[in-house]
């Protein structure tokens, strides 16, 4: 069972997430031959203040 994990800043709509899940599942099926029903996509919405990179918080870098 392939599991695709996506961590991204909070703020995407349900429709955007729906499209993302479909696109990632289709890519996994096409690339690996996995069955669509066996592919899991886990989306973690992260607040900008809870993500740091390049020595800065996301909320400071992308206000």
Residues belonging to the active site: 2
> What are the two backbone dihedrals, phi and then psi, of residue 41, each rounded to the nearest 5 degrees?
-120, 125
Angle of CA points 4, 17, 30, to nearest 5°: 45
Q: Which of 40, 35, 46, 36 is nearest to 10 (CA)?
A: 46
């Amino acid at each position: 069972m392939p599991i695709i994990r996506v961590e991204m800043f909070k703020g995407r709509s349900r429709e955007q997430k729906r499209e993302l899940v479909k696109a990632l599942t289709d890519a996994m099926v096409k690339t690996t031959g996995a069955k669509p029903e066996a592919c899991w996509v886990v989306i973690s919405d992260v607040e900008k203040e809870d993500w740091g990179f390049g020595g800065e918080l996301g909320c400071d870098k992308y206000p």
